[in-house]
Structure formats: structure tokens, C-alpha cells
Amino acid sequence: MNIHNKKHLNLLFPQWQGSGPSNVLYHGAKRLQAFFSDIDFRTINVPETRTLETFNNILGYSDIVSQLEEAVSLVKNFKPESIFTLGGDCAVELAPVSYLNHYYNNDLALLWFDAHGDLNTPESSLSRHFHGMPLRTLLGEGDPQITDRCLSLIKPDQVIMAGIRELDEPEQAFLDTTPIDILKVKELESDPACLVNKIKDKGFRRVYIHIDLDVLDPEAYQNTKHPTADGLFPETLCRIISLLNDEFNVAGCSILEFIQIKDQGLNQIQKFLSPFL
């Protein structure tokens, strides 16, 4: 993935409504845009403030649906071969992931770097926050008006969850009966190449790298909305991304759920993205 390629799309999607009433992720995404000022972003229109209402047990439902429609329309009209996304909450993944999966006819491994599962449904979610539901939605389970707007659905064997360590009970129950591969923090720290080997075993040629920054250990990286103990070290994630870029066609990558704490954390994100800059 080369973010300056003409057939590449850089997407700024500062959606915050999926994470609850605070708009801190909106400002985090805007700060990242300012930091990467040399990158030409296409921007999804997201209101900075809004009183959120619940529909179908999803907080901020109307905004989430309308913003998804705008993002889907953008990627369909642009027809990129690769996408880099700055967010915003994790639910911004629906448009880029479903588009690229369709574009590459399911030859896409979805690498979900995240402390959390994002595998709830509207029925199982206690918070009603949609950023806890996007992976389950991409798998075809969730609000039908949202899943129907996705450009494709992924299969469980396309997903590798990396660094996951905090699951709700319904998410664990789903994983207990679903063939999704999981690589724990200890595995990734001891052998950063284990993810590369897992993808090769599955036979995929292309990857999408979802990065919720809470996959990182909060003692080493603090700019996250939901810090979760015992995470990956930033240098390990850098090494893994470099290995992935060497071995596969990186069709997409995202940096999500960043919060601004002075100017901390920005240079580290630049290091994560250095293979693509």
C-alpha cells in the first residue's frame, strides 16, 4: 500500500457517535489529520456535536447509518485499490473493509488488532455503543439495515484477532462456536512473525490491518479511549506491520480510537505507518 498512489484512497472518518456521548474521538481524528498534513484525505461529513438518540438498541443510530451511506458511496465512486482510514471509532471499518473484500473477491485476511472483540450485537450489547459491534456486523450479524449497507460480508476464516484480551460474555460465547483465529499478546511478543505464518497457512495474498490503539499496552502508549492492561508494545506492532508489508499486499490499514493528550503518541503512529508513507 502506497498512500500517495493515484488508485489509493486516504479516508478521514471522524465518527465518534459509535463510542458514546463524548466526541473526544472526533477531535482525536482531526488532530491526526493535522499531523499528517501532507496526506490528501477525503473526509466523511460528521457533526462535531449531536444529541444522540437510541434506535434498534444502538446509540446514535441515525448518524451512524447516514455516515455509513456517505462512506459507501465515496468508496464505490472512487474505486480504490487500497484504503488508509483515520478515525474515529471502530465502526468506521464497515465501508472500507466491506468494499475491499468485495473488490478482491474475498481474498483478504482481516487482521483485527484490538484489545476488545467488537463482536456484540444490538441485542447483546449492554452499552448500546456501536463501536463494540462492527466486527460482528461485518460477519453478517447485527442490525439488518446496517449489514445491508455493507458492500460484502466477511467469513470467520478471514479474521485473525490479534492482541485481544477483554471480552464480554456474549462475545466469548460467540467465539467458542465460531472458527476465528486468535493470537494473544504473549504469542505476538515472543514471535512477531507468527501472524505472517498464520496468514500464509490460510492462503491469503492480501491483508487489511485494523488498529484500535487500545491494543497497545497503556504503560507504553497512553493516547487511547479505553486503555487495557497487558497489551502489545509499540515496537512489536511496528515490527509486525513491517513484516506484513514485506510478505503481503496490504490492501488497507486503519488507525482508530486515538485521543489527544498534548502531542504525545503522534510520532509513534508515524512509525507504524512508515512502510506506507
Phi-psi region of 105 (alpha: psi -120 to 50; beta: other; left: phi over 0): left
- Cα separation of 70 and 175, whole Å? 31
Closest CA to 193 of 244, 253, 268, 235: 244
Report the residue count for the chain.
277
HSE toward the beta carbon, residue 213, CA cutoff 13 A: 29
| CB contact at 8 A, 58 and 128 | yes
Report the number of distinct structural domains present in the chain.
1
Q: Phi and psi for 48 in degrees, rounded to 5? A: -70, -35
Residue 140 counted as domain residue: yes
Q: List the pLDDT tens digit at each of the 277 positions of the chain.
A: 988 888 999 999 999 999 999 999 999 999 999 999 999 999 999 999 999 999 999 999 999 999 999 999 999 999 999 999 999 999 999 999 999 999 999 999 999 999 999 999 999 999 999 999 999 999 999 999 999 999 999 999 999 999 999 999 999 999 999 999 999 999 999 999 999 999 999 999 999 999 999 999 999 999 999 999 999 999 999 999 999 999 999 999 999 999 998 778 999 999 999 999 8
- Cα separation of 248 and 224, whole Å? 28
DSSP notation for 145-177: HHHTTSS----GGGEEEES--B--HHHHHHHHT
| CB contact at 8 A, 194 and 183 | yes
Q: Which secondary structure element, helix H or strand E, spans residue 116, and what is its range?
A: none
| CB contact at 8 A, 142 and 30 | no
CATH number of 59's domain: 3.40.800.10
| CB contact at 8 A, 244 and 204 | no
Residue 192 counted as domain residue: yes
Rounded to 5°, the CA angle 199-203-206 comes to 70
- Cα separation of 241 and 131, whole Å? 23
pTM of the model: 0.97
- Cα separation of 207 and 276, whole Å? 14
Range of the domain at 262: 8-276
Residue 1 counted as domain residue: no
Name, in order, each residue with C-beta under 8 angstroms of 60's C-beta and a sequence gap of 6 or more: 17, 18, 50, 52, 53, 130
| CB contact at 8 A, 216 and 233 | yes
